[in-house]
Structure 1
Amino acid sequence: MHKDHVILDDGMFFVELNGNYAANDAPGFLNRRCSYGPTTPGGYECVGGFDKALDGTWRADVNAPYDPETDGDCRRVIAGVSRMNAIAALWRERHNAYPYHRV
């Protein structure tokens, strides 16, 4: 985690921009703090994110329990919106993201 890339933080969840992009156009990750371990060496896990769709609009997803019918483990929060709206929707849904690790 790069503190310069964190744009929202409530002490449990934080949104971090992807450092491989310019900050004003970067996709990002919704992370949840948890215990340190082999799969969470930084003490956090990714539980969602936002990115740009092929049509230039933005979307956001959060982790969900695995669904064998759809063979998926994420839930679309919002799509076809501006980057700021995608970030806001992702942040509103942070407590509904499915965590895989204990706090």
Structure 2
Amino acid sequence: MSKPQQPAQPELSYHPNLGDRIVQDDGLYLLVSLAGVPGSKAKGLLLRRMPRSPKTPYGLECLGHHLLLTDGRWYASRVIGGDSEHANKTTTGVFQTELDALVNLWASRRSPGLALMV
């Protein structure tokens, strides 16, 4: 007796439609705004394009985020990826403006961490 066929998993698009949420895109890294997304605590994400896998089904790896603190300053957090000695370590920073947090996240995409806190 043959086993019943499992239904095929729906094919996921290689990249979700981020539309006008992309703030910066250099072809490998993306800075995406989450402003106005219901239920999101973070205001933005730093993403890296990756081959699709069980860990990255959409082909995107989250490397960092930023959010507004209750005192009006901005918090940014960055996880270092790759195989370097700094891999999987987190760096954080607190910044006076959202723009400072965004610029630091974007600038850190190819470096081992965020700039100094403001």
Please, what TM-score do these two structures have when normalized by structure 2? 0.65
Percent identity (aligned): 29
Partners of 2:112 and 2:69 in 1: CA distance: 21
SS of residue matched to 2:103: helix
Cα shift readout 1:23-45 (whole Å, capped 9, x = no counterpart)? xxx71000000100112111110
* Structure 2: gaps (5+ residues): 1-15, 81-86, 114-118
Larger RCO, structure (CA 8 Å, separation 6 or more) = 1
Correspondence list, 1:1-103, <5 A: 1=16, 2-18=18-34, 19-20=36-37, 27-64=43-80, 65-66=87-88, 73-76=89-92, 78-96=93-111
* Structure 1: gaps (5+ residues): 67-72, 99-103
89-98 vs 55-64, greater mean Cα deviation? 89-98
Please, what TM-score do these two structures have when normalized by structure 1? 0.74
Residue identity opposite 1:59 in structure 2: Y
Q: CA RMSD in A?
A: 2.0
Work out the number of aligned pairs and report it: 87
Residue identity opposite 2:78 in structure 1: V
CA distance 1:30–1:97, change in 2 (3 Å): farther
| Bigger Rg, which one | 2
Regions of 4+ moved over 2 Å: none
